[in-house]
């Protein structure tokens, strides 16, 4: 899926990167972590091996993808995590102590940026194996490191401060991802993109999306995860233009400002209903995949391969059809295991969906019926 390989390999190849390149990478990394932390998730295993390049192109010409969420967990603000999730070089000192919060990710990012600038880690050991790990952990606990002149002579003092602000022993004094996105060095070095307002076709797609049924909306949200970045480049820029605080979501205020900026203030009258229609996960905000789901052009979204991938996901027993039990699971987001255990409202959703999609009246939805329904814009499919 990510043919550009690991960021780690690019570091080995380049030895170190210039400040403009690190700024480009920093914007992506910090935006991703801000989105996670805003949703109360900590990654807990950030390292260059867990950042992949989407395409096999120079780092400045493709996108980073954060992977490996096996150690991630949902946290409760103000409540400490205690599991010692440890990767030498990148682990935060408070994780070694067994009491920490999401700021452990900020420390790990600080280590990554240190390496991006100079090619070597701030905490290292001359020993191998267990002895080497223990030596690194001892140094991490002290929080002491240096900017060796021979390695850092090409790096500005502002860039060094950017790194130093993250590698602070006291986690409470570390900046948040949002504060780092507003850091003077980051602001100076992130690439400037041209604002792209909502297009007429995107607005039309949003209007069309509002008329879709529940299953169709869920399917389009899944398709948004499959579609290649290069097919939705302009939509991504529209999203970034409205996402003024850079946290990976659009609030009702940001959406309203986006509509008004293109002279579509009349659409803000029903904005509550529009936002509710787009907000698939019920968070009260529109995240990137939800926005893409609602604004993709039909010819992009409804290609055979994408719809088939979604159908296979919905067909959980892999028998070639979607039955009532599977619909009960899908439409309730897994809350009900089957149709028999669903409540009255959920059963009504299932029945309505079957009535709308099952054109041959055999009680299940096959792929041809599913594809036909995805292509259909009739208002009577609204669930």
User: Is 101 strand, coil or helix?
Assistant: coil
The H or E element that residue 303 is part of is: none
For residues 53-81, average pLDDT: 95
pLDDT of residue 377: 55
Structure tokens at 298: 């039909």
CATH number for 350: 1.10.238.10
Question: Could you give the dihedral angle defined by the CA atoms of residues 56, 60, 61 and 63, in that order, rounded to the nearest 10 degrees?
Answer: 70
**Mean pLDDT to the nearest integer, 294-303:** 89
Residues 238 and 357 in one domain: no
What is the pLDDT, as a whole number, of residue 267? Answer: 67
Please write the tens of the pLDDT for every residue from 221-250: 999 988 888 889 899 999 988 888 777 889
* CB 61 within 8 Å of CB 129: no
123 and 166 assigned to the same domain: yes
Mean pLDDT calculated for residue range 357-378: 89
Same domain, 29 and 171: yes
CB atoms closer than 10 angstroms to residue 245? 14
* Structural domain range at position 233: 200-301
Whether residue 292 is predicted with pLDDT greater than 50 in this model: the reply is yes
Looking at residues 41-68, what average pLDDT do you find? 95
Report the phi/psi class of residue 320: left, alpha or beta, with left for phi > 0 and alpha for psi in -120 to 50.
Answer: left
What pLDDT score does 68 carry? 96
Whether 226 and 183 map to the same domain: the answer is: no
The number of domains in the chain is 3
Q: How far is residue 209's CA from residue 274's CA, in Å, rounded to a whole number? A: 9
State the distance between the two ends of the chain, measured CA to CA, in whole angstroms.
Answer: 34
Q: Among 144, 160, 189, give the residue marking a domain's end.
A: 189
Q: 182 and 34 in one domain? A: yes
Point out the catalytic residue in the list 9, 45, 135, 243. Answer: 45
Query: Residue 147: helix, strand or coil by DSSP?
Result: coil
Is 1 a domain residue? no
Q: Over the stretch 303-358, which tens digit does the pLDDT of each residue have?
A: 999 999 999 999 999 999 999 999 999 998 888 988 998 888 889 999 999 998 99
- Residues 326 and 334: their CA atoms lie apart, in Å, by 9
Tell whether 245 and 361 lie within a shared domain.
Answer: no
Domain for residue 230, yes or no? yes
Q: Which of 57-66, 144-153, 201-210, 313-322 has the lowest mean pLDDT?
A: 201-210
Cα 122 from chain centre: 28
> Cα–Cα distance between 76 and 112 in angstroms, integer?
26
pLDDT of 307 reads: 94
State the sign of the Cα–Cα–Cα–Cα dihedral 111, 87, 177, 242: positive
Please write the tens of the pLDDT for every residue from 129-155.
999 999 999 999 999 999 999 999 999
- pLDDT bucket at 383, cuts 50 / 70 / 90: very low
**Which CATH number covers residue 21?**
1.10.510.10
Q: Give Cα separations from 187 to 20, 24, 175 (angstroms).
A: 11, 10, 15
Q: Is 96 helix (H, G, I), strand (E, B) or coil?
A: helix
Residues 296 and 310 in one domain: no
Residue 247 has a pLDDT of 78
Catalytic (active site) residue 133: no
Evaluated on CA atoms 57, 233, 373, 357, the torsion sign reads positive
Q: How confident is the model at residue 185 (pLDDT cuts 50, 70, 90)?
A: very high
Domain co-membership, 46 together with 160: yes
Same domain membership, residue 122 and residue 15: yes
Residue 220, phi then psi, degrees to nearest 5: -65, -35
At residue 381, the pLDDT reads: 41
pLDDT in tens, 153-169: 999 999 999 999 999 99
pLDDT confidence bin for 114, thresholds 50/70/90: very high
Domain boundary among 266, 301, 336: 301
Whether the CB-CB separation of 53 and 61 falls below 8 Å is answered with no
The 10 Å CB-count burial string (b at 16+, else e) for 58-75 is: ebeebbbbbeeeeebeeb
- Of 238, 269, 301, the position where a domain reaches its end is 301
Asked whether residue 132 falls in the same domain as residue 77, the answer is yes
The arithmetic mean of pLDDT across residues 41-51, rounded, is: 97
Computed over every residue of the chain, the mean pLDDT equals 90
Residue 44 sits in the same domain as residue 177: yes
d(CA 182, CA 186): 7
Which of 282 and 188 is assigned the larger pLDDT?
188
Same domain, 291 and 156: no
- 94-98, 233-237, 295-299, range with greatest mean pLDDT: 94-98
Query: pLDDT tens across 255-291, in order?
Result: 888 878 777 777 677 777 778 888 877 788 899 989 9
């Amino acid at each position: 899926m990510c043919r550009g390989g690991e960021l780690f390999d690019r570091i080995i190849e380049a030895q170190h990167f210039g400040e403009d390149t690190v700024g480009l990478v920093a914007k992506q990394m910090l935006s991703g972590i801000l989105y996670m932390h805003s949703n109360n998730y900590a990654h807990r295993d950030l390292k260059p091996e867990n950042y992949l390049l989407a395409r096999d192109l120079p780092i400045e010409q493709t996108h980073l993808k954060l992977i490996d969420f096996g150690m991630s967990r949902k946290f409760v603000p103000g409540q400490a995590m205690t599991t010692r999730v440890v990767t030498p070089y990148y682990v935060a000192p408070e994780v070694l102590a067994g009491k920490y919060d999401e700021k452990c990710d900020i420390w790990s990012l600080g280590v990554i940026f240190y390496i991006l600038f100079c090619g070597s880690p701030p905490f290292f050991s001359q020993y191998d194996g267990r002895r080497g790990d223990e030596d690194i952990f001892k140094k991490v606990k002290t929080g002491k490191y240096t900017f060796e002149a021979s390695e850092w002579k090409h790096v500005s003092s502002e860039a060094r401060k950017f790194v130093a602000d993250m590698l602070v022993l006291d986690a409470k004094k570390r900046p948040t991802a949002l504060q780092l996105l507003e850091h003077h060095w980051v602001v100076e070095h992130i690439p400037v993109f041209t604002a792209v307002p909502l297009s007429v076709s995107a607005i039309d797609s949003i209007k069309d999306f509002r008329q879709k049924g529940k299953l169709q909306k869920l399917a389009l949200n899944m398709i948004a995860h499959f579609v290649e970045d290069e097919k939705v480049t302009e939509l991504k820029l529209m999203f970034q233009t409205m996402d003024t605080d850079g946290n990976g979501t659009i609030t009702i205020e940001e959406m309203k400002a986006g509509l008004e900026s293109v002279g579509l203030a009349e659409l803000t009258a029903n904005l509550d209903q529009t936002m509710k229609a787009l907000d698939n996960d019920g968070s009260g905000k529109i995240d990137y995949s939800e926005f893409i789901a609602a604004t993709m052009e039909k010819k992009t979204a409804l290609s055979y391969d994408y719809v088939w991938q979604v159908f296979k996901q919905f067909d959980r027993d892999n028998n070639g059809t979607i039955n009532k039990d599977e619909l009960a699971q899908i439409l309730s987001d897994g809350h009900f295991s089957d149709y028999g255990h669903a409540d009255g409202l959920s059963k009504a959703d299932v029945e309505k969906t079957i009535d709308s999609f099952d054109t041959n009246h055999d009680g299940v939805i096959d792929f041809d019926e599913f594809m036909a329904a995805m292509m259909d814009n009739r208002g009577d499919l609204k669930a």
